[in-house]
Each structure stands twice: as structure tokens, then as C-alpha cells.
Structure 1
Amino acid sequence: MKKTIITGLLLAAAATVKAQSYIGYLSDNYSGVHGIISNPANIVDSRFKTDVNLVGASVFFGNDYYGVKLGDVLDADFDFDENGNKSPKTSNNLIGNADVLGPSFMFNINKNNSIALFSRGRVGYNINEIDGQTYESLADEFDENEDFMVNEDNFYLTANAWAEVGISYATILMNKDQHFLKGGLSLKYLQGLGNAYASGSNVEIDYDADGTDLGGGNTTGSITSQGEVYYGHSQNINEDLDDFDLEIVEGATGFGADLGFIYEYRPDYSSYSSNGNDAMTYNHLNKYKLKVGLSLTDIGSINYKNGSESLYDITGVVNEDTFEEQETIEEILENLYTETDTGGSTKWVLPTALHLNVDWAMASKFYLNLNTDLSLTSNTKRNVSRTANNVYLTPRFESKWFSFYMPVGLVQGAGAQWGAGFRAGPLYIGSGSVLSLLLSDNSKAADVYAGLKIPVYQGKPKDRDGDGIVNKKDNCPDEYGPIENNGCPWPDTDGDGVNDNEDQCPDEAGEAENNGCPWEDTDGDAVLDKDDTCPQEAGPAENQGCPWPDADGDGILDKDDQCPEVAGTVANQGCPEVTEEVQKTLNEYAKTILFNPGKATIKTESTTALVDIIQILNEYPDAKFTVEGHTDSIGSEQTNQRLSESRAQAVKQFLVDKGIDASRLEAIGYGESKPIATNMYKDGRAKNRRVEINLVK
């Protein structure tokens, strides 16, 4: 039986299969032009001025049927049929790819826009809904005495190789404080290099080891089958898949597109937007705390215009010898079964997928990346490729010249995977499954990638004068200066020690306390306004620049007026002057003050005279007076002296009690020493018994 034909198809698929390419490396902010593979928005606000990829290749295979341990495979005695772990199910799947990024480069048009040109070669295989028992039966040598039956039902096989030449454009859509958003679009011209596919509907195969009698007691096996099989291919596959050569297929072209957006949360945005610099000034740094990317890739198809597709009814019985005589799948279908329909091949659909990428900056140079790829194409349609749904969590160390990643993930149908990779300047190499291959006894996926590039990194912006303003935005890059003056030091035009930015009189020397202006003397009194309490009125310096007041309006300034609140005369230093007439009046009143005989007590009838005296004294509040007591000559001289003193003191006390300041009065007793009349007569002695109130001059 030509089991090798079908087995070859399956093993070819196992050789190179499609899931995410460059696992781990694409999470790196220094992946450069490779970023377009997962999201075209990656190339703007990049850590590169330009990035040139020379060549890079990524190969992946995954399945849910066959598992091995890498160490066992490397053993010379390892046999794939005998030593591998097989997990046959009614619906086994194989899926994978080879992805070669050829000469490609990206560069920045300006700080907000970037572009990339790329070339890419890809091969993808899908085998879906295959009954595992079918594969085992085809892989094993037939026992001529052993029957078997396969109920395959429906199955789908697709293989395609194509080249891409494309352009990517990315731009910044929003850069506002802590929020940053960029978007990108890739347009691709597709050239088919070969396509083959097959699908079956309600397929059943029954092998009877001795079902056909050849005569003479000899028998051979018979193959009874039913169902329908579609088989299509491009014109460069003339005989069978094992004769498939990659070449440009005439008329096999198409167009594809990738679309992506990336949002960055930048809580520390203020540290990148100080001194007139903006975040784009620091393109050599990652500025986000959290980055979220969403993209849609491989939208499109290739139409193999000259390809063919046929539908065969495989219902019937074929003996094993006749089956073995056929050389190719086409010969088996054409010579042994009935072709019911033929025509042009079905358009091949790209493996469209949705990608979500979340990157968390945990600490300086340490990141944690979550990436998931979700296929948007069906696994139950003819001539359709698809990616394997997967999710990877990748911790990484990332720096300018070196990065290291260790992706851990789950791949649909292939289970858990654990890998490692690194980038060292122009070299990148890694695998998303190398560690699980080394450690697991039943690894069902394998991948590897490697490549070389020429990276040209963004440089740290220069700031020669250390003023926080990068040279390209600094009008005076060699002199320290503030952003308000475009990085130049403020001048001091008038040389007064106050810089022009703070000098309200930049062309006239002044004082720092007056904002660089000279002090004025508004009222022209030679007292500067800063020291002048009355800047609008001329006044002497001794009164802080204010004119002296004359509160009592007597023409004598308060500074010279001994009685500033009471009008007075110049002769009396501004105080009211006690005239001779007033003095006479005081003494006229004083003469009416009567005492009890031989005593110092004032008689009640003297009160009126004392009140009049108080009124006069209040009119001259700053004048001082003496209260003088006198007696006649009757009695001893000593007695008369004491009596005069007591009477003078009694009058003073009365006046003080009525509100006259005691400091203005002095009580003096003269006894009988100053008579004003003769003591020989009664009338004269009465005149001598008196009190006088005299002004102290």
C-alpha cells in the first residue's frame, strides 16, 4: 500500500508548523523591525533610530498526537514509531509554520511617525480533525493477516508557502500627560509559492487482510471505502506533495493587511516633560508602567488562478495489489475512484488572528509580558490556514544591548510550554519550548528561532550645561539657563545685580528690594519713598518724610509745642499763658477762702470760690501753681507758721480731690512773714490771714 504517500504528507506537516513566531523575542522593546509581525504600531516611539534585519527564521511545530523528550530523540537508538508517546483521538490536529524575515528595516520619519519596509517568506501547514487511529494504521507496517477499519468521518489538510513584501506605517495618536496611544498599519503584497489541500467528508476505510482471491489459494487484501474527498493544489504541484518545490507560481497573488494599536500608561510623565522637554525627547527610554497592545494580523488571501480542485467519490472496493501499483495520491484518486467534479482551486485564506499583548514594567529593566493569540479562521473549511490559540507569560530582563526572556505558555493542542531566549546586540536566538523539551517526557511542541540584524539605537539626549534642557532645544547649550529664556542665562542690562527677568526697570540701575528700579522721591523732600511715611507730602526726615502737625492750631508745631493738644502762645512754648489778670482773679477767689479760727479746716461757704479756682486751673492744664498760706501776727511765730502750712495743704488737697493733678500744685506756708497790711488793727490782721494761688514761672 502507498501508505508512505499519506504518511509523507503528515510528516511534512510535522516538520514545520504555525503558531506565534519568535516566541519571547517579540515582547522585547528592542525587537525593532520584528515588532511589525505582531503589531505594526510597535515601530513608532521606538528605542531605535533605525533597525536593519539581515536574516531571521522562526520554526514551530505543535500537535496533540505525538509527544517525546528531547534527550530521547538525540539517542541514536531512538525510534519514532516505537519510543514516542502517542495519544490517538477521534480528532487529532497538527499545526505549525516556518517564518523567515528577510532583509527588512525600519526608520523614523520624525518623532511622531515611523515607517518599515520588509520582506518575508512563510510556510504553514494544518492537519485538522484527523482520527489518530488512521495515522497509526498508516504509520505501522500492515500485518497481512490483520484487518482494520477506520471511521475518519471529516478531515482537513492544508499546506501553503508564500512570500510577502510590505510597508508598515505607524503614528502617535495621543500624547497627553500619562496617556499615550499609537497606531500602525501594514500593507502586504503576497506571492504564492505553492498550495495543496485536501478534505474528506464521511470517509470510512475497511481493510480486509485476505479479502480478495487471486486464485490457486492465494489472496490479497481488499480496501473497502466510502465518502467524498476534495483534492486541490497549485500548478507547481504536478504529481504529489513530496515533489513540491517552492517557486513563484504564476497568477498566485494577493494582498494582506495588519492593523494594531498600543496604549501606554505613563504615571511618571512629568519627569519626561520638564524644562521644555517632552516625552519624545527621551526616545532612548521606556516611559510606561503598563502597555497594552491589540492587533489584527494576516487579513487577506491568495488566489491561485491556475490551480485545480477535484471532488472524488471513493465509494468502492480496491484490492491491495492494485492500490500498491499507484505512485501518487493523484493516481490513487484518478485511477481507482470516480471524479465527480473539477474546476479551479479554492482561494487560500491567510491565518487571520487577533493578538492581545500586555506588558508591565515591574522595576528598572525587569518586565512581565502577557501575550495571547486567537485564531479568527475556521479549522473546518477547505484551504484555510490558522494559528494555534495560545497564551504566554514572559518575564524578561531588558537593556539596550542585552535582553533575556523565559516564556511560559499554553498552546492549543500542544499543552504547556517553557522556553528561553536572548538578544545580544545584533544576535537574537531562542525557543519557546526548549526547557519543556528538556524536562518533559511528553512534549508535543518544538520551536526555535535565530537571526542577525544591525541595530542603531536611540542615543541619550545631550545636555552639556546641565540645565535640564537638551542641547537641541537649548539656545545656549554651553551656558546654564532656565527654560523661560530658552536655556540661556538671564542678562542684567543695567548692571544693578537684578536679572532682566526680575527687573522691572531693566534699562535703569536700581535696588533689588524695589524689583530692580531706583527708589523715587515723589514729594521731593529728600526722603525716598521707601522710607517716606508720607510719600505724597513733603516732610523732614526726622518725621519719616511727613510734615509736622499742629494739632491745637496755635501756630506752634507739635514737635515744639509743650501743649500740643491745647492752643497756647509762642512765649509759653505753645501752652496757654496765665496772664496777670487771670492771676489777679485767682487770688481774688483765694482771698474768699475762709477757715475756722485757729484751724486749717475750710468753711463750707468757701466751696463756691474753690470751684471757680478749679475752673481756672483746668483752663491751663500744663501750668503749675503754688498754694501759699499766710497768718496775722497774733500768737507765736511757730504756731502761725504751722497753721499757714496746714491751711495751704488743706486747699491743695481740696483741689487735688476735685481732679487737679497734684504735680501741678505746691503747698507753702509763710506764717506771719509776708503781711500785706498792718497787724495793729483788726482790719489789717484780717487781710493778712489769707491764701494766695500764684503761677510758678
Structure 2
Amino acid sequence: MRKITIFLVLVLGSWCARSQSFQGFLADNYSGVNSVIVNPANATDSRFKTDINFIGVSGFGGNDYYGVNILDALKGDYDFDLDSKKHPSESNNGELNVDVMGPSFMFNLTEKSSLAIFTRARSFVNVNDINGNTIDEIDNDETDDFMVNEGDFNAFGQAWGELGITYARVLFNEEEHFVKGGLTLKYLQGGGSAYATGKNVSVLYDADGAGPDSGSITTTGQLTYGRYAELDNDNYDYEIPKASGFGADLGFVYEWRPHYNDYVSTNAQGETYVRKDKNKYQLKLGLSITDIGAIKYKEGQEDVYDINAANVSEDDFDNADDVSSFLNDHYNNISSKTGYKTYLPTALHFNADWSFSSKFYVNLNTDLSLVSKDKLNTSHVSNIVSLAPRFESKWFSFYLPLSVVQNIGFQMGTGLRAGPLYIGSGSVISALISDDTKGADVYAGIKIPVYQGKTKDKDGDGVIDKLDGCPKEAGPAENNGCPWGDADADGVLDNEDNCPDVAGPVENNGCPWGDADADGVLDNEDDCPDVAGPVEQQGCPDTDGDGILDKDDKCVDEPGVPENNGCPLDTDGDGVYDKDDNCPENFGTVANNGCPEVTEAVQKALNNYAKTILFETGKTTIKSASESVLNDIIAILNEYPNAKFSIEGHTDSVGSEANNMKLSEGRASSVMNYLIEKGIASGRLSVKGFGESMPKDSNATKEGRANNRRVEINLVK
């Protein structure tokens, strides 16, 4: 019966499997090919040119029955029954997981896609729903008898190898937002499996039931026992079972990159380069489903037994060749079949990674089993939530994972990556400080990482080599990092040469002199390069032939004089050239041929002066006192040299009408003669007498008669 005791103790002392191997390490952006086992999308847009893993081993385990002090347990005299803490329930569980990642590598296919190939050996043991309340009965020191009311339980263990190929590519990349996806297909090779499930099982052991030296076993219930073909053979050379299958992993990663432009370089031609050696995200979210698949054991055997039997001899159990022989000899085989399937521990993974800086991160990871622990022939993982701050750089990373694990509780661990070496544990700290540790894990591995290189600028011109047309020779960014040349060897650098392919002088910005107006004078010697002109005039025309070149002539079509910029003179500035101006020295109007026009005010002023001209009584002789008035009249007439005036005489009614007519004419003639003598052209003047015929006032009064005796000077229109 000690076989049963040892079996149960080992089962319940086995360790509860974590859902994620290499705890803490797989969140590292430099975990490389290892990270594809948790999310295939990690293969692309990585920090590696290639990554080669030699060997990595991860072991996890725990149970929810025994809690131990690890430091004490390492001592030789530790007694699990006496020194450990026990947590019995009607449904205790135990699991074990070993994950060996063998030679694997990852490399980039294109800028947006990558490929990974990995090998992996794994084993899982799951024991569920063991009645922990009856375990103490087995090792009761007061009696060798015990009774176990187990009820329903299931136990399953399997080992398998994987050959996986992962393809990942960038699905969306729009600056701040980035999405990549990946798919892994796996060939599975079964390495061995066994399972047992019980319904309403109870075991009664009577230490003396079969005699003084042999106990007896009384059992009830139903037992299903499945195993791969060679398990029952105690002496055999291990052969790989005829068991194979296929599996798959699928994953996606989203990155929020608010500072995307900090990692992008652009050259003068608009070509861009995104730095591959730097993480660009502030927040990264990952979602994946792993271990979808099954393995078919073609030669596996499954038997169902009715184990209702009393007083079976312990000696028969101890001496049986194998478990199958014992069961077939002592219990009723209800059914039997050849071949069965085992299923992988399918799980959902959610990962969120926040970047505080280029080297400090915090990672939240949740792993959820997608299969029930009651599903037969299926490995399953324990659910876990972990929070792991980390320091991360190209050659060194350090992690501090804090986790809550189903059936185990809180765990705290640490790990590091130093170049090719990675080592750690998700539980080492909590295991060392707690006296009630229900689980522990450890991992270690070695690889060859080939990282993406930093962007280089060998010539130090500010243009990275990837975008530099002349990476070994400094040049300006606007010329793609190349120095400006002189393609036409004219002494003018191409960046300043308006004609870089044709030689030309410096003073013409590297272009040869042309003859734009085709007048035979080259532009550099042509004073009028856009208008044809004779050679003797330096290429400038003189349309009006006035000796003033058109470029300097404001009256191109009319001969003029130099002092008036090629235009005819206009001395008085009235817009009428002197040659056409009847009054060249008096400002006038065009309509009056350059002469001023006599206004009503001028006319009034003339008459105001004229009526003050004094004559000898009854005579035509002008009194000398009127000379100043006449001179004022002359000044006005000289201002309007183009105007003609009529000098008109008038008298009062004293005397005969004939005498008055003659007197008015004589006085008007005296005024005209005076004006002519003083230089007024005679052609401008005419005389007319009106006598007493046009009085301005009444002749009945002295004042009226005085107003009627007058001379008027009126404009002839």
C-alpha cells in the first residue's frame, strides 16, 4: 500500500503550473525569439536583426495543499507532515510544468515582416479535485488503517515536443498608431501521456485485512485509466510514441506612438527612415491565444473499470507487473478502446506595457485558461495576473514581477537579462520570506542576440548614412548629404549655378551669356537686353531719333530734349509743349493752346480798373493820375497773351447824342492806344463806342451820371 501512499503524496506535492513560462523575461522588448511563444506578433518590428536561442529551461510548480518555508525545506531534516502548513479542502489541486525551449531563431524577411522557427519540449501534470481532508488519514502515525472518500477526481499528465514556425508582419502603421499581427503553426510530437479519472471513488485500507503481514483494500466507484502504449512496460527502451498533431498560436500587438516623429529621419528627396533600434511606443497592448491544438495517440489505450470490490490483497497490488494488470485481474473492465486525443493548454493572454522613459517600463500581464480543469485529457494553466516594473536596455534588463496566481496566491520574484544570459524566477522573493509558500518557479537560458544597429552618420554632416547619398563625405542635407559639385567646371558650385550642366561666368550665376533680344549684342554688354537695338548704341533703340535712347526717353515716339528726359519742353508746365504752346511761359490749358483762360473774376477785375480811368472834362485825353490803373490793366492782359479784348466807351446823357457817341469812341481809342504803346499787341484789341445808349445807372442824379461815364474792357469770345 506504500505505492499508493507515495503516489498520492507525490501528486499532492507536485507544483501548480503557471500559465506563462519565463516570468518577467517575455515582457522584455529584448527577449527576442522567446517572446513568440506568448505572442507571435512579437516576431516583427523587433529590436533584433536576428536572435538565436540555444537553450532555455523554465520550471513552474505548486499546489494548494502544502505551504512550506523554502529555506527550512532545503534543510535535510524538514518534515512535510509536521513542519509544513496544510490547507485541506474537498477540492485540492496540484500541477507541474516544465518548458524547455531548444534551438530557435528569428530573422527579418522585409521591412514589415519576419519569420521565427523554434523548437520546444514541454510537460504538464494536472491533478484536480483531490479531497485534501482525507490525506492525513494515509500517514496517520497512530494506525496504519485509513479511509479515503475521494469522490470525483481527474489526473492528467503529458509531454510533447513542438516545432513551430511563426510569420508576423506589420498590419497598420500611421505614425501614432501601429498594429502588427502574427501566426504560429506547430507540429506536435507526443512524448507520452497518462490520465486517470474517478467517479464516487472511496478507498478503505485495513492493515491486517489479508493476514498479519498483508493488508487489504476495499474500493468503490468507477475508474477510467488511459496511457500511451509503453507506460505499463517496466523494462523497455524508450521509443517515441506514434502520437502527433498540430497546433497554432495567434496574436496581435497595438502600439501608441505619440512621439513617432522623434524616430523618423527624412532626406531632401522625401525618403524616410524609421529607427529600428529604439522602442517608439508609450503604450503597447498585446492580445493572443496560444496552444490551440491536440495530439492523437494512435496506440494509446483507455479502459474503464468498475472498482467496487472488497478485501483485495495488498500483496497482489505490490506484486503486480503493472497497474493495468492489477486492474484487469481484480476489477471489472466495463469498456476498452485503442487511441485517444490529448489537448494543449489553450490560454488567452493580455499584455499592457507602459513606457515611462526609454529605459523604465511597467508591464501588466493577464493569462486566462480557456479550458476547464474538468475537461478530460487536457492540460490547463492556472490563471494569473502580474504587474512587473522593469529597467530595460539593449544589453541589460532587470525585472521585479508581482503576481497573483490561481490556487497559490501572491508571489514576488525577480529576473535579469545580461547580454546572452537570462535567468530569473517569478516567486523567489516571496518564497524566501514566506513560511507558507505553495509554489515556486525558476528559469534560465542562453542565446546569441544580434541587435539592430544605431543610426550612423560617419561623415558627421547631420544626414544619417541610410539616407546619405555620400555617407563618407560631408555635405548639406538639401543635397542628400553630398557636397555641392561643379558639374560644368565653370567655377560656380551647382547649388548656386543656374545652369549646372552648361559652363558660364560667375557674374551670370554660372550660365553663359545669351542674346535675349537677338540684336547681336550679348546680354552682358547689352544695355537693353530685352529690346533689340543697334550695336553702336549698346543694343538700345532710339525710336524717335532725338539722340536719347528709349530706355532713358520718356517720350519714345516724340523727339525731345535731354533736359526734359527726351520729351519736348513745356516751360510753364501746363502739359502743352512749348512748340505748340501759344503761351509757353504762362500756365494754361490744352484747350486754349497752353494759354490761361480769362475767368469771370479776371473780367470783373479788368472792368473795376477800367471804370477808374479818368479823362479831361469833355475830352478824350487820359489824366496822368490814371497811369497806375492802366499799368495794372496791362499786367492782367499780359497774363493772357492769347486773349482778345474789346475796349468799349460809355457816356452820360448830358450833351447831344452825336457828341456823346463821338466822345465814347475817342476815349476808348485813347485807352487802346495807350495799351498798344505799352506793348499790348494791336491785334488783340478792338474799339467800340456806345455813347449814352447803355447807361448803368440813372442820368437824373449826379452819382448816376458818374457811373454811366465809363470805359469797359471785355473779353472777345
Under a length normalisation based on structure 2, what TM-score does the superposition of the two structures give? Answer: 0.72
Are residues 1:563 and 2:572 paired?
Answer: yes
Q: CA RMSD in A?
A: 4.6
Aligned partners of 2:195 and 2:106: how far apart in 1? 36
Give, in angstroms, the shift of residue 537 of structure 1: 10
Match of 1:432 in 2: 426
Aligned partners of 2:558 and 2:295: how far apart in 1? 113
Match of 1:575 among 555, 571, 585: 585
Aligned residue for 2:35, secondary structure, equals helix
Give, in angstroms, the shift of residue 271 of structure 1: 2.5
Match of 1:686 in 2: none
Aligned residue for 2:136, secondary structure, equals helix
Of residues 49-58 and 278-287 in structure 1, the stretch that sits farther from structure 2 once superposed is: 278-287
Give, in angstroms, the shift of residue 65 of structure 1: 1.5
Match of 1:266 in 2: 257
Aligned partners of 1:26 and 1:591: how far apart in 2? 120
Aligned partners of 1:278 and 1:397: how far apart in 2? 34
Match of 1:109 in 2: 109
Give, in angstroms, the shift of residue 36 of structure 1: 1.7
Number of equivalences: 602
Aligned partners of 1:438 and 1:538: how far apart in 2? 110
Match of 1:299 among 292, 299, 318: 292
Match of 2:186 in 1: 188
Aligned residue for 2:265, secondary structure, equals coil
The 1:247/1:433 distance shift into structure 2, 3 A limit, reads: farther
Match of 2:59 in 1: 59
Aligned partners of 2:629 and 2:93: how far apart in 1? 137
Match of 2:639 in 1: 617
What are the superposed Cα offsets for residues 109-150 of structure 1, whole Å, 9 maximum, x if unpaired? 333232222221111111111111243333x146437654x4
The 1:95/1:611 distance shift into structure 2, 3 A limit, reads: farther
The 1:439/1:528 distance shift into structure 2, 3 A limit, reads: farther
Aligned partners of 1:597 and 1:267: how far apart in 2? 110
The 1:513/1:552 distance shift into structure 2, 3 A limit, reads: closer
The 1:575/1:318 distance shift into structure 2, 3 A limit, reads: farther
Of residues 22-31 and 343-352 in structure 1, the stretch that sits farther from structure 2 once superposed is: 343-352
The 1:60/1:520 distance shift into structure 2, 3 A limit, reads: farther
Of residues 271-280 and 410-419 in structure 1, the stretch that sits farther from structure 2 once superposed is: 271-280
Match of 2:200 among 199, 202, 209: 202
Give, in angstroms, the shift of residue 426 of structure 1: 1.2
Give, in angstroms, the shift of residue 594 of structure 1: 2.4
Aligned partners of 2:316 and 2:273: how far apart in 1? 69
Match of 2:119 in 1: 119
Match of 2:400 in 1: 406
Match of 2:311 in 1: 318
Are residues 1:526 and 2:527 paired?
Answer: yes
Aligned partners of 1:304 and 1:488: how far apart in 2? 67
Letter in 2 for 1:71: L
What are the superposed Cα offsets for residues 364-394 of structure 1, whole Å, 9 maximum, x if unpaired? 2111111111111221122110111111111
Match of 1:47 in 2: 47
Aligned partners of 1:331 and 1:6: how far apart in 2? 20
Match of 2:240 in 1: 249
Match of 1:594 in 2: 612
Match of 2:160 in 1: 162
The 1:158/1:542 distance shift into structure 2, 3 A limit, reads: farther
The 1:143/1:335 distance shift into structure 2, 3 A limit, reads: farther
The 1:413/1:527 distance shift into structure 2, 3 A limit, reads: same
Match of 1:650 in 2: none
The 1:342/1:353 distance shift into structure 2, 3 A limit, reads: same
Letter in 2 for 1:167: I
The 1:559/1:427 distance shift into structure 2, 3 A limit, reads: farther
- Structure 2: which 5+ runs fail to align? 520-525, 531-539, 589-594, 597-602, 617-623, 644-717
Of residues 291-300 and 465-474 in structure 1, the stretch that sits farther from structure 2 once superposed is: 465-474
What are the superposed Cα offsets for residues 504-532 of structure 1, whole Å, 9 maximum, x if unpaired? 54447588999989899879982678xxx
Where do 1:63-102 residues align within 5 Å? 63-102=63-102
The 1:558/1:457 distance shift into structure 2, 3 A limit, reads: same
Of residues 179-188 and 563-572 in structure 1, the stretch that sits farther from structure 2 once superposed is: 563-572
What are the superposed Cα offsets for residues 68-113 of structure 1, whole Å, 9 maximum, x if unpaired? 1222212333111211111011111112310111122222233323
Of residues 328-337 and 102-111 in structure 1, the stretch that sits farther from structure 2 once superposed is: 328-337
Give, in angstroms, the shift of residue 3 of structure 1: 4.8
The 1:136/1:597 distance shift into structure 2, 3 A limit, reads: farther
Aligned residue for 2:158, secondary structure, equals strand
Match of 1:673 in 2: none
Give, in angstroms, the shift of residue 442 of structure 1: 1.2
The 1:345/1:469 distance shift into structure 2, 3 A limit, reads: same
Of residues 128-137 and 92-101 in structure 1, the stretch that sits farther from structure 2 once superposed is: 128-137
Letter in 2 for 1:190: L
Give, in angstroms, the shift of residue 156 of structure 1: 1.1
Aligned partners of 2:474 and 2:518: how far apart in 1? 43
Aligned partners of 1:213 and 1:78: how far apart in 2? 34
Give, in angstroms, the shift of residue 309 of structure 1: 0.7
The 1:619/1:71 distance shift into structure 2, 3 A limit, reads: farther
Match of 2:23 in 1: 23
Report if the CA contact (8 A) 1:593-1:610 is conserved.
no
Aligned residue for 1:307, secondary structure, equals strand
Report if the CA contact (8 A) 2:156-2:195 is conserved.
yes
Match of 1:360 among 354, 360, 363: 354
Letter in 1 for 2:275: Y
- Structure 1: which 5+ runs fail to align? 530-534, 622-697
Report if the CA contact (8 A) 2:265-2:272 is conserved.
no
Report if the CA contact (8 A) 1:589-1:610 is conserved.
no
What are the superposed Cα offsets for residues 566-587 of structure 1, whole Å, 9 maximum, x if unpaired? 4353699953599xx99xxx9x
Match of 2:451 in 1: 457
Aligned partners of 1:229 and 1:330: how far apart in 2? 12
Report if the CA contact (8 A) 1:554-1:569 is conserved.
no
Of residues 115-124 and 270-279 in structure 1, the stretch that sits farther from structure 2 once superposed is: 270-279
Aligned partners of 2:75 and 2:272: how far apart in 1? 55
